[in-house]
A and B are shown apart, each in its own frame.
Chain A
Amino acid sequence: MSGTNAQGGRWLTRRDFLRASALGVGAVATGGLFAAYTSGTARASTSSSLVSSVLPSVAPTVSSGPVTIEHWVWNLRQGYWEEKAELLRQKFPNITIRVTEVPFEGMYDRLFASLVSGVGIPDVIDIEGGNFPRFVAQQEVPLLDLRERLATELGGLAPGIADRYAWRDGIYGVELAANSVLYFFRRDVFEKAGVTADNWEDFEVVAAALQDAARSLGVADAAAITWATDAQNNFRPLFLQRGGRYFDEAGNPTFNGTEGQDVARLMSATAKAGQAIATPGGWIGAPEWAAAAKENKVLSIVNGDWGTTYFQQNVPEMKGQWQAVPPPRWAAGGFAGTTNGGVSVSIMSTTKHPDEALEWLKQLRFDVDTVIDAYLRFGWTPVLKAAIDDPRFAQGVPYFGSEYSQVIKASMADMATFPVAIKQPQAEQALDSVMPGIVTGATDPVGSLNQAAEQVRQSA
């Protein structure tokens, strides 16, 4: 291309354009980098966190003017939140609750991006238990400490529940539901087999009897139990129930100790014996699992009480065939109950309206009618003592009958706790990686746990 036109003037050449672009890039990037790094350095030098420097600090003032609280949830629940927001509005006409549905998979990525940029941070957020360590791993926890603010209300929770979101001296969320781990099983097959699953050490014998019973009922290749291919759904609850802890006080991984080995050996042995299979689709809510259940190919599963939702949604026609009880115990020691999953309602420390956000949290977690309504509609088992004692809770879940509430109570009576650990996500990730080999019996269970522990030790 020529640089000169017919009139003798100069055309814009590619070189001109590239030169201009390069200058532009250089200027903008240098300016951006300079701004970013100098501000970063300034923050570092004053030992102030990114969060607190980007956003205004908490101002605990009660407002009489109109206040809007933004709450991020995973699921709009068919108007449930709006109904509860209306209840709050009746008490506090100046508070408007804006509920935003953010898909679970991207919620915390989006939140962290908001925290870093300082733009679009909600006031209240649902935090899934597995993601909670990501928040407390920061130099300054970006969540409001509720220990003093809700001192009275927290005392109304079932034992151990308030500590689920405790970190150092603070409490940074309130649990949604008990998430008690239950043992769901095919009532008819167990009755035919004439067995009960009392402890895990004897489970292989029980499983063999179950499979015989299933064969006599015309199902040749039913799995006595399914094991999840990730750590959180089966390994973790059984490990906690056995009395295990992921880390010692020095932060070293301990999930490969005796308790972890017992769980991994059970999973591996039942898989090798053809008694257990990897959970079809990975979890109880997967369509593959529902399909297997409908074909009578699975006879039992260990899951959090939230699994009741999926029985009702995915296999409603099997009502009466499945029963829920507390999980078998470990004869070697441990707890009657354990937990699987959990969701906190937490308030961001950046909120401009902490008191109004607290009122919303109280409405959701400490109002007995609201808690019971959530239980009846979604199966969120109450953790509020007043709700557990409410006669409506005693009615149980229709799918599992009236004894269901007693099962939950029994499970919660001696429940293993799950302390927050900074490296929990790394541990779960490392365990996730080896879990398929364990639950399919393809790898040495103890060696796999040791491999995962080594990976956690090496993680930065």
Chain B
Amino acid sequence: MNDRSRAGLGFLLPFAALYVLVVATPIVLAVGIAFSRVKGLDPPTIGVIENFTRMASDARLHKALGNTAAYGALFMVVTVPLSLGLALAFNSRHLPGRHALRAGYFLPYVTATVVAGTVFRLLLEGQFGLVNRVIADLGIDGPDWLLDPTTVLPAIVFVGVWRHLGVFALYFLAGLRTIPDEIVEAARVDGAGSWAVFRHITLPLLRPIMAFVLVIGLVTSASVFTEPLVMTRPVGGPNDAALTLFLYMYQVAFREFNLGYAAAIGLLFAVVLGVIAVIQVRLLGQMEPAER
């Protein structure tokens, strides 16, 4: 190794040391804890698989998994097309005030989740919330959004969509800006209409961004925690209808203080999420920009 290599290594070492200390080591330790009985302040027992066998019969875990999947599906189905539509609108030179609109849609993302959750909790309160008052004026008897098992999760999804719509639109907008004008113009010269341009040029060239957004969306929706924590009372909603996987993991870790089981859930979660992400990326093609 010459001087230059040593210098390079020297520059990398601070990051590498920090990475090992605060990322890699906790991950490895978490795997170890997942295979241990670590409960409360009692002495730990190493090398057990009970945390994984418990998962099979844990009804609340199954409920949390189902809710998280439902949240993710709903979140993605609503957010991705809407944010793509917004990005197309923002990208249009004909949209008046598009810069202000872009900033406006981005603002919810920089709003603290706790604040957003608290405000929406007040808005969605069944008896005296603004939402029900407004729809009552239209002659509609609104549900108790956060106390009804059928509406609590969609209400939380709504807040998630509201928060992330702007930032997802910005991702797509960045992708749209990379599409060369000459390709679009050539297509138009060949007689392609707006739909054909979108279908055969815009969408294929957005594939890497789409893959990125889907992975980010998956991680965002799968790790939803603060919204149900703040918005639901009791936490997790009626009949655990808004109990998400992260919320359950938190309860197991810090209410039951069963760190071993919480780590096992986390491990399972990471594996499942990783597999889904890989499948998503494979289905959508490579993450690297398409060669032109």
Check A134 against B239 for contact (C-beta < 8 Å). no
Check B12 against A442 for contact (C-beta < 8 Å). no
How many angstroms from the CA of A267 to the CA of B129 in the assembled complex? 22
A29 contacts partner chain B, Cβ-Cβ < 8 Å: yes
| Interface window among B18-26, B80-88, B212-220 | B18-26
Check A425 against B25 for contact (C-beta < 8 Å). no
Check A297 against B16 for contact (C-beta < 8 Å). no
Closest B residue, CB atoms, query A23: B20
Q: Which of A20, A281, A455 is most buried by chain B, counting CB atoms within 10 A of its CB?
A: A281
User: Which B residues are in CB contact (< 8 Å) with A337?
Assistant: none
| A302 → chain B closest CB, angstroms | 17
Check A425 against B44 for contact (C-beta < 8 Å). no
Closest A residue, CB atoms, query B24: A25
B190 contacts partner chain A, Cβ-Cβ < 8 Å: no
**Given A44-B44, A458-B59; A29-B29 close (CB under 8 Å):** yes
> When the two chains form the complex, which single residue of B4, B32, B257 contacts A37, counting CB atoms closer than 8 Å?
B32
**Given A33-B32, A288-B125; A5-B25 close (CB under 8 Å):** no
| Interface window among A61-69, A250-258, A366-374, A430-438 | A430-438
How many angstroms from the CA of A47 to the CA of B43 in the assembled complex? 8
How many angstroms from the CA of A7 to the CA of B16 in the assembled complex? 27
User: Which A residues are in CB contact (< 8 Å) with B41?
Assistant: 49-51, 112, 115-116, 138-140, 142
How many angstroms from the CA of A271 to the CA of B43 in the assembled complex? 48
Check B25 against A32 for contact (C-beta < 8 Å). yes
Check B43 against A50 for contact (C-beta < 8 Å). yes
| Interface window among B68-76, B202-210, B229-237, B265-273 | B229-237
Check B29 against A280 for contact (C-beta < 8 Å). no
A229 contacts partner chain B, Cβ-Cβ < 8 Å: yes
Grouping DSSP codes into helix (H, G, I), strand (E, B) and loop, the A interface class, with mixed when no group exceeds half, is helix
How many angstroms from the CA of A137 to the CA of B42 in the assembled complex? 10
Check B128 against A278 for contact (C-beta < 8 Å). no
How many angstroms from the CA of A24 to the CA of B25 in the assembled complex? 10
> When the two chains form the complex, which single residue of B4, B29, B54, B237 contacts A9, counting CB atoms closer than 8 Å?
B4
B127 contacts partner chain A, Cβ-Cβ < 8 Å: yes
Supply 25 A–B pairs (Cβ within 8 Å), ascending by A. Answer: A12-B9, A17-B9, A17-B16, A24-B17, A25-B24, A29-B24, A29-B28, A32-B25, A40-B43, A50-B44, A108-B254, A109-B254, A138-B40, A138-B42, A139-B41, A139-B43, A231-B234, A281-B122, A282-B233, A292-B128, A297-B128, A434-B239, A440-B147, A455-B60, A458-B57
Spell out A's residues near B (CB within 8 Å): 5, 7, 9-12, 16-17, 20-21, 24-25, 28-29, 32-33, 36-37, 40-41, 43-44, 47-51, 108-109, 112, 115-116, 134, 137-140, 142, 223, 229-231, 277-278, 280-283, 287-288, 291-292, 295, 297, 425-426, 429, 432-437, 440, 442, 455, 458, 460
Spell out B's residues near A (CB within 8 Å): 1-5, 8-9, 12, 16-17, 19-21, 24-25, 28-29, 32, 36, 40-46, 54, 57, 59-60, 122, 125-129, 144, 147-149, 233-240, 251, 254-258, 261
